[in-house]
Structure 1
Amino acid sequence: MLEGLLGGGTKKGITTPVEFNRARLLERLGTKTLSELVAMVAAAGLKPSG
């Protein structure tokens, strides 16, 4: 799921279960917005596998 969000997935294309998982991911990583999550991932040096 993280790869999908980093790969440019839009909120319009996200279904309800995915949105729930996105919210859980943000919470578990201690971020509040997708922008914070992307910044954290970039700082860690992770890149989408695609």
Structure 2
Amino acid sequence: MKKEIIHVCCYSAQGSMKYTIDMRLFEGKKVIELIDDLSNGPIAKITNMKKKN
């Protein structure tokens, strides 16, 4: 069974991530973009996506 790689990145990086996957520089088929820039810390700790530190 082959595992599917899903990349999680901030919204501003999603275009670059999709390009690297299309060019086969990274493995994977799916990119999930988050609105925030992940400066709030780990995803499990984010309580409000609109609030930045």
TM over 0.5: no
Normalized per residue, the structure richer in helix is 1
Structure with the greater relative contact order (CA < 8 A, sep ≥ 6): 1 or 2?
A: 1
Give the structure with the higher percent strand.
2
